[in-house]
Chains A and B, each alone.
Chain A
Amino acid sequence: MTVPTAERITAPATRLAGPRIDAWAKVTGQALYADDIRWPNLAYGVLLRSPHAHARIVSMDLEPARRMPGVLAVLAGPGSVAPYGIMPSTQDEHALAVNKVVHVGEPVAAIAAETREAAAAAARAAAVQYAVIKPVLRPGPGKGQVEPVHPEHPQGNLFKQVDLEFGEVEAAFFDSWVREDSFFYQGNNHGAMEPHAAVAYWTPDGQVEIVTSTQTPHYVQRELSRALGIPAYKIRVRASVVGGGFGGKSEAFGHEVAAVLLSRACGRPVKITLTREEVFYTHRGRHPVSMRVRTAWNPAGELQAMDFRSELDGGAYSSYGIATTYYTGALQPVTYRIPAYRFHGERWYTTKPPCGPKRGHGTTQPRALVEIHLDRVARALGLDPLELRRRNLTPPHSITVNQLEVTTSGLAECLDAVEAMSDWRARRLQPEPNRGLGVACSAYLSGAGLPIYWNPLPHSGVRMAVNRDGGVQVFCGLTDIGQGADTVLAVLTAHALGLDPARIRVHTADTGSTPVDLGSYSSRVTMMAGHAVLMAAERMAALVTEAVAARQGVALGEVRREQEGFWGADGVIAWEQAVQWAEAAHGPLTTFGGYTPPPPIGRYKGSGVGPSPTYSFSACVADVSVDPVTGQVAVHRLWVAHDLGQPLHPSLVEGQVRGGVVMGLGEALMEEQAFNPDGRHRGPHFLGYRMPTILDVPPIEVALVGEPDPRGPLGAKEVGQGPLNPVIPAVLNAISAAAGVDLSETPATPDRILRALKTQPQRRTI
């Protein structure tokens, strides 16, 4: 079933529509992003950063900086009392570098002053001498004697190696038709409009208050606790209004630790706001990955086995690297049925800004190669690329070879939708010169099945209170990073309690006042906080309904709702009245809700990465022209179909789909975090790092398909990340069809296309 967005959403949950609850604050400038925050007596911090990719710190003279006017505090490394990091098993970062620096822009000292300008001037006055070492720019064991990035790391520059095998892989390859392809997926940055910023205060009584632009206040609190060596309960982390995250604000950063330490040193609150250049050095963006895929096929065009290898260029620190490495192999069998599957992944340290999670975390790169590979297989087998995909879809309600549990799947409907919308057959039969269509599919998690650190506790908790004024307060640790998580919380509460959303006030992203929610990552918020808030609301509704039943002297089942209130013997009972009866009976009304995903069924090492309560599915068709003279790509139109189960809020859903599609388009065509041979970024600014402008974005047609998922809150699945993934290979496949040449790397910039046109024989037929 394919239904355009607008029609679909009106039917089941009109109450959930309406503007986002933060819309007015954002469009009137009242919303406080982290850099907007001014606390009394605020001081400003600046980090002195390494200008070298790989160097030993020979000496550091900070006295000249201390003597500069307006300077309040100057600190040198390590800053943190213990190395910290988001993954408990790979904590390798300090707030400020000790002994050596391993990427350009690594912080080495922190300065607080009366103004930002004074702090920056002091940073320039500091004298740091470096002994430059040859940078490590490529993953792999390397040639010759080059000092490893982390000499104390036991495996040289190899951060992590992963090997998984399911089913009879060798046997399948022995007697099948086999094809192999390789691809390099370039790294890229999130490009969130708001740069990272934090305001921190070490109070005179030894408490830490920090407001920061983050996706994960809970994890920041944990990491700060470790880095500062103080108990977590003394640290209150609040997220500011966040101007985009996309994965780039999902862990604690040096500037957050440094802001706290500077505050302790000078006794005043300290704010640190990164420049755009510093954001590129803080990075944690998409890993550059070199990949190879080998597949075995039977004569019917059915996939028999896949052997996938990925080599990740991790940059200088671990970040989420273990998870990323596994993710480059985890979801291949969720999209397509693969009876036998082997995965080898390795991630290497290099002296570049650390990579981490970006929208699609680790699944975007392999998705690109697999989908490009499928097009080449289809060409070799003489099949329509859509038809080849249809023959191999992972069926709904099945268990994959790597023991992931798939519930509902609308992937077949996604393909039907993009085929119909794009008029696929007609266009392919009559191709225009230098113009082509490309298709790709994808699947994504609706929330990671396991938390970052092992624990049996709920992934999301909600505390709900109803006051005698009839208003509802919802407390949840979730973080709205622009995707509309606060709005979802409000509209689900309103829906479950049968109230006008105007009654709902949400309090989120504050470790000092809200129950834990793990954060805005892995497309988990609507799934998990959604379940938690529905549970809390159902309990609240029961309390109030019971009080009405008791007052009216009727059985519980006899109580009927009337608009926001209840039917009573003497007319309508207002919600406020019912609430007051309930409060009289129970005391202040408070309920709780929590959500823990179903336990994963896999029992092998590495099985923790990939499981999810349910998966979303997407498909994309791209229509592009390639100018053979200039190598420039014109994308005429993109059609995207997404299965997110039951959509909950039309404008938020549409925003996520379109935002993801545009981000994918940028990765396909222009964005690259690339480096010079000395380890300097090719362009750490928005002129050098190009993202699509509105003139580069074609019309995008969206269809939402699928059925409500039994595991989702009101049947909903994710939409935050999935729609990005198919866009990149769809565009690349379309370029291949249009230009008649195959690209072996992203992004498809005009220079790369010109080179491919020169070096490859051009295919004549599609």
Chain B
Amino acid sequence: MSSTAWLRPRTAAEVTMALGLPGARILAGGTDLVPNRTWELDTGTTWVGIGAVPGTREVRCDAAGRWEVGAAVTLAEVLAHPQLGRHYPLWMEAMRAVATPEIRTQATVGGNLCVDTRCRFRNQPPIWRSGLIPCFKSGGDRCYAAPASRLCVAMLVSDSAPVLMAMGAEAAVAGPFARWIALADLYSGDGDRHLTLNPGEWVRAIRLPAKPPLGAFRKWRPRATMDFPEVDVAVSVDCDEEPRVVRIVVSAVGPVPVRATSAETLLESGPWTSERLAEAADRARAAVHPYDNGQLRVWGRQRAVHGLVLDALRQVASAVVEKGAQA
């Protein structure tokens, strides 16, 4: 194992500069990068900390009522924040579903969004990998999970990504051309280079809408804690718009969270009868094609999408009714 330099630049510009060094990686909480280094999956030689950059550890509310959370704020800090939980219960649910309490004290908001993709044919210890011809993500020319694929299909395992997408959150990209992007635009669809960020760019913060839509989140995993998602589902609806804005996001089924647009269209207008909710769940299931690169079997993961979406939609439907009754 070669030695690694750890830089802690004090300005955003310095971070961008440091990312130009060979083998540079952002080190936020390190809960993913460090284990990957131990298994020799990540061979980065320069770790660039971002926590010393002003703003990256801040939580603040702008004049429009939108909350902005720095990328280096830890998940535990988000969960303990006096205001965020009240405004964004859906996001909190996803945060609580991440890993374990120990990891959440270390892991960060930005790290959870940008966390490297995972695959059962790559995220394995050294002896396991030693006899295999490298796959795309390991610098090779093939995919074991999807032999016909010309791209890596490793899964995005961020629990916050589908929820923030469903909420319509944005990410602040720092770098030569600093800008705000919709969260969906952060992911490329290629499991090997799963972020759309250009060299030197990094996620500085996220911004949450002032009036978040109603939503529901489901994480499907074998244990009650610790496990990465085998399927994530986030659903939201904003009834104040006409037609309604419905977002159905299925994640951990590929390198990018999938919007079930056909299902969304179905629910934008008309009543949410149980038949139509089931129809939407069917459409959502048809929209995703998980590969057999998770720990649970692929038939189960595909089937789970239906149940999870249906379950989440039912929860949102009853929340909508409740809210209507209150108003």
Contact = CB atoms under 8 A, between A and B. Distances in A.
B281 to A, nearest CB: 10
A755 B299 contact: yes
Given A690-B223, A696-B223, A277 B300 contact: no
B301 A683 contact: no
A751 B297 contact: yes
A613 interface: no
Given A277-B127, A631-B307, 8 more contacts: A629-B307, A630-B311, A631-B303, A685-B124, A750-B300, A750-B304, A751-B303, A755-B303
A695 interface: yes
A683 B125 CA distance: 9
Contacts of B129: 51
A565 interface: no
Interface string A148-180: 000000000000000000000000000000000
B299 A630 contact: no
Interface stretch (B72-80, B208-216, B224-232, B319-327): B224-232
Interface in B290-306: 295-297, 299-301, 303-304
Q: How large is the interface on B (under 10, 10 to 19, 20 to 34, 35 or more residues)?
A: 20 to 34
B257 to A, nearest CB: 19
B220 interface: yes
Nearest to A49: B127
Nearest to A47: B127
A106 to B, nearest CB: 10
Interface in A14-31: none
B243 interface: no
Given A684-B128, A685-B125, A630 B225 contact: no
A275 B222 CA distance: 24
B227 A690 contact: yes
B220 A630 contact: yes
A610 to B, nearest CB: 35
Contact of A51 (B132, B222, B225, B307): B132
A277 B126 contact: yes
A685 to B, nearest CB: 6
Interface in B124-162: 124-132
Given A277-B128, A630-B311, A685-B125, A752 B224 contact: no
Interface string B106-132: 000000000000001000111111111
A693 B226 contact: yes
B225 A751 contact: no
B295 A688 contact: yes
Given A51-B132, A277-B126, A630 B227 contact: no
A277 B123 CA distance: 12
A687 B228 contact: yes
Interface string A617-635: 0000000000011111000
Interface in A601-647: 628-632
A385 interface: no
Contacts of A755: 297, 299-300, 303
B64 interface: no
Nearest to B300: A751
B120 A630 contact: no
Contacts of B223: 670, 690, 692-693, 695-696
B310 interface: yes
B127 A693 contact: no
B296 A750 contact: yes
A278 B120 contact: no
A749 interface: yes
A681 interface: yes
Report the 9 A-B pairs with minimum CB-CB distance, sorted nearest first.
A751-B300, A51-B131, A629-B307, A277-B125, A695-B224, A51-B130, A751-B296, A751-B297, A754-B303
Contacts of B299: 751, 754-755
B308 interface: yes
B63 interface: no
Interface string B218-251: 1010111111100000000000000000000000
Interface in B65-83: none
Contacts of B225: 693, 695-696
Interface in A687-730: 687-688, 690, 692-693, 695-696
Contacts of A751: 296-297, 299-301, 303-304
Interface string A100-123: 000011000000000001000000
Contact of B297 (A117, A628, A752): A752
A630 B128 contact: no
Contact of A687 (B128, B220, B227, B303): B227
Contacts of A682: 120, 295
Contact of B304 (A117, A683, A754): A754
Contact of B127 (A105, A628, A683, A692): A105
B222 A750 contact: yes
Given A695-B224, A751-B297, A629 B310 contact: yes
Interface of A: 49-52, 104-105, 117, 130, 275-278, 281, 628-632, 669-670, 680-685, 687-688, 690, 692-693, 695-696, 749-752, 754-755, 758
Nearest to A685: B125
A685 B39 CA distance: 11
B227 A752 contact: no
B308 A630 contact: yes
A281 B228 contact: no
Contacts of A683: 120, 124, 295
Nearest to A671: B222
Contacts of A281: 127
B153 to A, nearest CB: 16
B246 to A, nearest CB: 20
A692 B311 CA distance: 25
Contacts of A275: 125
A750 B228 contact: no
A434 to B, nearest CB: 13
A50 B224 CA distance: 35
Contact of A630 (B1, B131, B307): B307
B125 A690 contact: no
B37 to A, nearest CB: 13
A758 B303 contact: yes
Contacts of A130: 131
A8 B125 CA distance: 48
A688 B300 contact: no
Given A670-B223, A687-B227, A750-B296, A104 B128 contact: yes
A631 B226 CA distance: 19
A631 B120 contact: no
21 contacts: A50-B131, A104-B131, A277-B126, A281-B127, A629-B308, A631-B307, A680-B128, A683-B120, A683-B295, A688-B120, A688-B295, A692-B223, A693-B225, A750-B296, A750-B304, A752-B297, A752-B300, A754-B299, A754-B303, A754-B304, A755-B300
B131 A52 contact: yes
A582 B264 CA distance: 91
Contacts of A692: 223
A750 B131 contact: no
A427 to B, nearest CB: 23
Contacts of B124: 680, 683-685, 688
Q: Which of B127, B222, B300, B303 has most chain A Cβ within 10 Å?
A: B127
A690 B223 CA distance: 8
A632 B307 CA distance: 11
Nearest to B301: A751
A188 to B, nearest CB: 14
Contacts of B127: 49, 51, 104-105, 277-278, 281
A669 B222 CA distance: 9
Contacts of A693: 223-226
A649 B311 CA distance: 49
A744 to B, nearest CB: 14
A687 B99 CA distance: 11
Contacts of B227: 687, 690
Contacts of A758: 303
Nearest to A683: B295
A49 B129 CA distance: 12
A398 B104 CA distance: 58
